[in-house]
Amino acid sequence: MAKYLLLKHYRGAPAAVNDVPMDQWTPEEITAHVRYMDDFAARLQESGEFVEHQALTPGGTFVRYDGEGRPPVTDGPFAETKDLIAGWTVIDVDSYERALELAGELSAAPGAGGKPIHEWLEVRPFYPAPFTITE
């Protein structure tokens, strides 16, 4: 088994076919989308392929170490994950091909008008084992 990250983007990927931003969806459209995501996760839980999924709000802050007690906080001007990452699903599957198959299914989640979004998802493998530190 290998773990993969199925990454949903706000921006940065090619435009989805049904490219209406979620903040313009009706409450019923949002409910249908969330139900699809939950049903997808439940089916993968049954097969043992589901690890987790999370949705992210568009808000966020950059912080870095700048000396003892002084973490600078900024809201730009560079590309930030809050502008790019909408959420993710982590799966644990037998093959890369299976990861691609599941990403394709996830891409079909309904959006505006109840039609599939056909959004692009980034499929990223996790490193298979923890790094070994040698001296």
Domain CATH for 25: 3.30.70.1060
Q: How far apart are CA 51 and CA 45, in angstroms?
A: 8
Q: How far apart are CA 125 and CA 54, in angstroms?
A: 17
Query: Number of structural domains, the chain?
Result: 1
Retrieve residue 6's tokens.
């199925």
Domain that holds residue 50: 2-125
Assign 118 to helix, strand or coil.
Answer: coil
pLDDT of 120: 85
pLDDT of 37: 93
First to last CA, the chain: 30
- Ranges in the chain, pLDDT < 70: 10-12, 60-66, 71-84
Is residue 133 in a domain? no
Q: How far apart are CA 121 and CA 2, in angstroms?
A: 18
Tell me if 9 sits within 8 A of 122, measured CB to CB. yes
Is residue 135 in a domain? no
Is residue 94 in a domain? yes
Is residue 34 in a domain? yes
pLDDT of 77: 54
pLDDT of 55: 85
